[in-house]
Amino acid sequence: MIYQSPTIQVEQLEDNIARLCFNAAGSVNKFDRETLTSLDAALDAIKQQPNLKGLMLVSGKDAFIVGADITEFLGLFAQDDAVLLNWLEEANKVFNKLEDLPFPTISAIKGFALGGGCETILATDLRVADTTARIGLPETKLGIIPGFGGTVRLPRVIGADNALEWITTGKDQRPEAALKVGAIDAVVAPEALETAAIQMLNDAIAEKIDWQSRRNHKLSPLTLPKLEAMMSFATAKGMVFQVAGKHYPAPMAAVDVIEQAAGAKRDEALQIEHQAFLKLAKTEVAQALIGIFLNDQLVKGKAKKASKQAKPVNSAAVLGAGIMGGGIAYQSASKGTPIVMKDIAQPALELGLGEASKLLTAQIKRGRSTPEKMAAVLNNITATLDYSAVKQADIVVEAVVEHPKVKATVLAEVEEHVSEDAIIASNTSTISINLLAKSLKKPERFCGMHFFNPVHKMPLVEVIRGENSSEETIASVVAYAAKMGKTPIVVNDCPGFFVNRVLFPYFAGFSGLLADGADFAAIDKVMEKQFGWPMGPAYLLDVVGLDTGHHAQAVMAEGFPDRMGKTGKDAIDVMFEAQRFGQKNAKGFYQYSVDRRGKPKKDIDPVSYELLGNTFGELKEFTKDEIIARTMIPMIIETVRCLEEGIIATPAEADMGLVYGLGFPPFRGGVFRYIDTMGVANFVALADKYAHLGGLYQVTDKMRELAANNGSYYQA
């Protein structure tokens, strides 16, 4: 044994080859500080070993190295520039040490080699992957750029154009794609990985492969003719701006760094990378995106824990084959849980199955599925008008029309037909879970399972705990949602549950602005372009449907009369009364048509201005800040109330619910990250300026207390 630590072991093989194995104690290898220090020491030990002729890097896990330890990032990035720069320089010395060894080196890659893992393999002279490998630099997705030499080595290995694409998109690559651009030198079967790597290393040792000139190429400036360089970078910048947009600066910074460092040798190029990294690491966007990554891990961890307590769900049933029922059936079937879809009307069943076929056909067209897979998914859906097929279901999801009496009847009926221990869940969006539970003999087996439309696209599922829901019921529904590929978040029962409870105050803020003469299209523009929502509130209401919105608003007003009770007619009422229901009947705030290529089109409609003008008078101008404050403050305060009342368990889950359920701009990280970034005291001061607008603008006592104590919702 040449070297041993809890994360790395180095042994000497025949032919004077050293085998360095990353093998941390946990389930994966990642680059935390301990592993970096260990790698440094291992390389020193290797350098001191006489007679070595080559080094092979391998992993003792299913994956090579999944990346840097992101849990260390927020704490690290909060430190002074000098500390952060020192960390970068020390880490890069280790990678340079690996690159500068006096003999050829090779990486044998299986599974993920991402971020720091990818930067490790780039520091060796040769790379062999097996068919399970996934290679890439995802850092820009976290609002930063690669910091361990990725922006320097990758363009020198695979060319500027390819590297720009890899780094700015952050996507991981399959081995065939990596081989095609020269990121790796061979792809082999998993069982042949180490043998193939040793063979290639021996070829290099025997000078059959010119590893020295490959290495020199990595240490030198990028060789690009001037005109070509200008074209590459200009094209990349145009593309990046279009895709990432102004709110996501990291991809553009990556292009700049590669361009600036193109004429430099390795060490100078690395300095350019360090400086850009330092700047990005301090941005609010990086904090928000890293926060989202960590929150996502937390939510996934909770789902994983729940699956240990869950009852296995081998077959499911959905009642109602409408928009939601059809979507739920498709999602369950395509993720491998057979499902019975029951309705009371044959045409509804045909519609539900038709929707599933449409989605599957689209996937085949995009090359993401095959006719065989499509047949298998459709075979997993049994459409029926009869309850008897529901008998063997482990879980039944009720998704019939949104009517308390109909749902009560259907729930009581289904309980008569299912097995003793089957779980029953409702996809209601507005009816109290505690109220619906009253129709069941065994309310402990019941909870809410609130999907979002369209089911196959929207990642969130709210799992709603009623006062009688058992923990096993909740755990089983959470596990089933996760098995369907969704992100489940558990909330307690209240009007609107979590997502709609915080959405409607935002709509109320929007309606208030319109009542004071604001232009809805101007509001949408600010909320989309400035704040970053995928749709502004008027457009969102059109998509949700103003009939649905009108109904849900009434439920919220009844649930929280002090804050959400209405005093007069608002913009939603005006649209509803004029039967402008939104996209569904082509008229809402906007008007909708289909363009020549068959794509849906949205236009300004003078009629809606006339209707609103008749009720609220002349249009007035509002500043961007006023628009953002008046719409966002009610949503933010209501989110805080949900946390204080225990409707949602943690700021992390609330923020993920907002990002996944409503498309809250990821670069802002969610409501709690947004307040923390602004400073709780600053937020309270801002809300106080608008307190005269009513109960939705009144901050809670606890918020005031937190502001006074200089506190925050997240701990760094």
Ligand X SMILES: NC(=O)c1ccc[n+]([C@@H]2O[C@H](COP(=O)([O-])OP(=O)(O)OC[C@H]3O[C@@H](n4cnc5c(N)ncnc54)[C@H](O)[C@@H]3O)[C@@H](O)[C@H]2O)c1
On whether 671 is known to bind a ligand per the annotation, the reply is: no
On whether 259 is known to bind a ligand per the annotation, the reply is: no
On whether 343 is known to bind a ligand per the annotation, the reply is: yes
Nearest C-alpha neighbor of 391 from the set 360, 429, 350, 420 = 420
Judge if the upstream peptide bond of residue 454 is cis by omega within 30 degrees of 0: yes
Cβ–Cβ < 8 Å for 139, 147 = yes
Secondary element (H or E) of residue 600: strand 600-604
Q: Give CA–CA dist 23/5, Å, rounded.
A: 9
Nearer to ligand X, 278 or 323 (CB): 323
Nearer to ligand X, 117 or 582 (CB): 582
The DSSP line for 584-595 is GGTBSSEEEEE-
Instruction: From the candidates 274, 403, 450, 692, give the one annotated as an active-site residue.
Output: 450
Structure-token pair, residue 477: 């529904």
Nearest C-alpha neighbor of 321 from the set 293, 298, 342, 290 = 342
- At residue 511's C-alpha, the angle toward residues 506 and 517, to 5°, is 135
| Residue 551 among the catalytic residues | no
Query: Least distance in Å: CB of 299 to ligand X?
Result: 20
Cβ–Cβ < 8 Å for 434, 467 = yes
- Biggest CA pair distance of the chain: 90
Q: Give CA–CA dist 348/320, Å, rounded.
A: 8
Q: DSSP letter at 132?
A: T
Q: Give CA–CA dist 438/433, Å, rounded.
A: 9
Nearer to ligand X, 402 or 444 (CB): 402
Q: Give CA–CA dist 201/193, Å, rounded.
A: 12
Neighbours of 171 (CB within 10 A): 14
Query: Least distance in Å: CB of 323 to ligand X?
Result: 4
On whether 407 is known to bind a ligand per the annotation, the reply is: yes
On whether 402 is known to bind a ligand per the annotation, the reply is: yes
User: What 3-state DSSP class applies to 561?
Assistant: helix
Looking up tokens 């299912």 gives 418
On whether 453 is known to bind a ligand per the annotation, the reply is: yes
Distance of CA 123 to the CA centre of its chain: 30
Nearer to ligand X, 303 or 383 (CB): 383
Q: Give CA–CA dist 222/266, Å, rounded.
A: 10
Query: Least distance in Å: CB of 324 to ligand X?
Result: 3
Phi-psi category of residue 496: left, alpha or beta, with phi > 0 → left and psi -120 to 50 → alpha: left
Nearer to ligand X, 120 or 487 (CB): 487
Neighbours of 705 (CB within 10 A): 11
Which segments of 320-362 are extended strands (E)?
Answer: 339-342
Which residues are at the interface with ligand X (CB under 6 A)?
319-325, 342-345, 348, 399-402, 406, 410, 427-429, 451, 453
Cβ–Cβ < 8 Å for 144, 277 = yes
On whether 429 is known to bind a ligand per the annotation, the reply is: yes
Nearer to ligand X, 310 or 399 (CB): 399
Structure-token pair, residue 610: 């006339």
Nearer to ligand X, 264 or 389 (CB): 389
Handedness of CA 668, 673, 675, 676 (dihedral sign): negative
Nearer to ligand X, 144 or 447 (CB): 447
Handedness of CA 360, 361, 365, 371 (dihedral sign): positive
Looking up tokens 């050293």 gives 18
Nearer to ligand X, 35 or 429 (CB): 429
Contacts of 223 (CB under 8 A, 6+ apart): none
Which amino acid type is present at position 170? G
Query: Least distance in Å: CB of 241 to ligand X?
Result: 33
* Residue facing ligand X at closest CB distance: 322
Contacts of 95 (CB under 8 A, 6+ apart): 119, 120, 123, 148, 149
Which amino acid type is present at position 507? F
Nearer to ligand X, 216 or 388 (CB): 388
Distance of CA 522 to the CA centre of its chain: 29
User: What 3-state DSSP class applies to 373?
Assistant: helix
Nearer to ligand X, 582 or 651 (CB): 582
Query: Least distance in Å: CB of 668 to ligand X?
Result: 24
Distance of CA 270 to the CA centre of its chain: 30
Cβ–Cβ < 8 Å for 45, 2 = yes
Query: Least distance in Å: CB of 469 to ligand X?
Result: 18
Q: Give CA–CA dist 571/218, Å, rounded.
A: 62
Residues of the binding site for NAD(+): 324, 343, 400-402, 407, 429, 453
Residues of the binding site for substrate: 296, 500, 660
Residue numbers annotated as active site: 450
Residues of the binding site: 296, 324, 343, 400-402, 407, 429, 453, 500, 660
